[in-house]
Amino acid sequence: MLIQQITIKKKVSMTGVGLHTGVQTTMTFKPAPENFGIRFRRVDLPDSPEIPALVDYVVDLRRGTTLGIGEVRVHTVEHVLAAIAGLQIDNILIELNNIEPPVGDGSAKPFVDLLLEAGLEEQEAPKDYLIIDQVIHYQDPQRGVEIVALPTDDFRVTVMIDYNNPALGSQHTGLFDLEKEFVSEFASARTFCFLHEVEQLHDAGLIRGGNLDNAIVIVDRELTKEELDKVAKKIGIDQAVILGATGVLGDKPLKYRNEPARHKLLDMIGDLALIGVPIKAQVLAARPGHAANIEFAKKVRKLYEQKKLVKKYQHEKKEGVVFDINAIQRILPHRHPFLLIDKIVEFQIDERVVAVKNVTMNEWFFEGHFPGKPIMPGVLIVEAMAQAGGVLLLNGVENPGDKLVYFMGINNVKFRKPVVPGDQLVFELHMVSRRSKVVQMRGQAFVDGALVAEGDLTAAIVDRESGK
């Protein structure tokens, strides 16, 4: 796989009709600087607003992937993103003068050809690969969808589709070398739908730009000549339409026997580009679609954000430790004698944190609480729990060093057992809800697996200078 970041050498443009909206759009690919990422820019709108190609900005998944910020939208981005990701381009600006990119022939090939015409250029900065080092699993039992990412040292994708439909049957395909196989084996696979879906899609305001030159329509039921003419008129096809022997409306030949499966893999590459970085993983997908792809991409992006946060604060890798005491001091403002956690051993961004406090006889509070009968004050157990919660608030806080966490409420606190010198306190904090700058967490403290304290914490994130 490539090591350096990639952009294109010059700007290139194409004009065409959008698949779902039917609008005429000119799309221009432009070179971008290092660490710019992939961004869409709507040059037809005031101030030319931009939308980063990230899963955070997905706003609609009806038969395609739509990005949006506020009222600004870019529809059906997956084929354009597949071309960019398939060519391993990291930094590029995509300018559009309308709401949807041209559909071309329904594949990623027109965009691949245009980008290759522009030429690829290596940049000095290294690629920021996300190396998958744990199994990531997404499942939707109702739809029979399952997507798994497994650790490996390169990028591979295997896709199986099965629509329980005799017109298509089961198909599978696999990509094992992006550089060698994407352009020749997958970029030209076209989008498809079933005949019974055509009228439904049209009635839903979709496929306004669809025709038999940019989509495969798979015949999945018998049609009379009158019914066939009605469907053709519905989707705006003027020429005579025949069923033929290929199983495809208009008797269009498939480019590959398993072209639908290849196109599903193409869609997945485009949707996974929304993770924001290329990944090293083996992805196995059964019956994927845009909704499942995006949910899976969200899980992978969360892992990326978590790794990025850990790398920012934990400068030395230690077995069994996510954040050591030095990292904790970079995260929290507390200092001796009021820094009450020693290390973080588990951290799931926006979900859960596990912190450890080793309680020794040297603790300052044992001198007076109580002489001859040292017991850790319950209020300090809750404070330590709250400090662990402060670490859990890392994500979504810009410049955490400039922020403080003020606790607004501590409810349902219960102390089950005393904590004494020699104990090791393990704190588990779970995120309950997060609304803007107000967060609710559930905390528990354990010693040797036994619950010693618990409570519900509500906190506000405020600016360090103003306290607001």
The answer to whether residue 196 is catalytic is no
Instruction: Identify the active-site residue in 290, 315, 336, 430.
Output: 290
HEC readout, the chain? CCCEEEEECCCEEEEEECCCCCCEEEEEEEECCCCCCEEEEECCCCCCCEEECCHHHEEECCCCCEEEECCEEECCCHHHHHHHHHCCCCCEEEEECCCCCCCCCCCCHHHHHHHHHHCEEEEEEECCCEECCCCEEEEECCCCEEEEEECCCCEEEEEEEECCCCCCCEEEEEECCHHHHHHHHHCCCCCEEEHHHHHHHHHCCCCCCCCCCCCEEECCCCCCHHHHHHHHHHCCCCCCCCCCCCCEHHHCCCCCCCHHHHHHHHHHHHHHHHHCCCEEEEEEEECCCHHHHHHHHHHHHHHHHHHHHHHHHCCCCECCECECHHHHHHHCCCCCCCCCCCEEEEEECCCEEEEEEECCCCCHHHHCCCCCCCCCCHHHHHHHHHHHHHHHCCCCCCCHHHEEEEEEEEEEEEECCCCCCCCEEEEEEEEEEEECCEEEEEEEEEECCEEEEEEEEEEEEEECCCCC
Structure tokens at 328: 């904790």
Q: What angle do CA 387, 390, 395 make, to 5 degrees?
A: 160
C-alpha closest to that of 334 among 378, 389, 395:
389
196, 334, 369, 430: the active-site residue: 369
369 tagged catalytic: yes
Q: Which residues are catalytic?
A: 290, 369
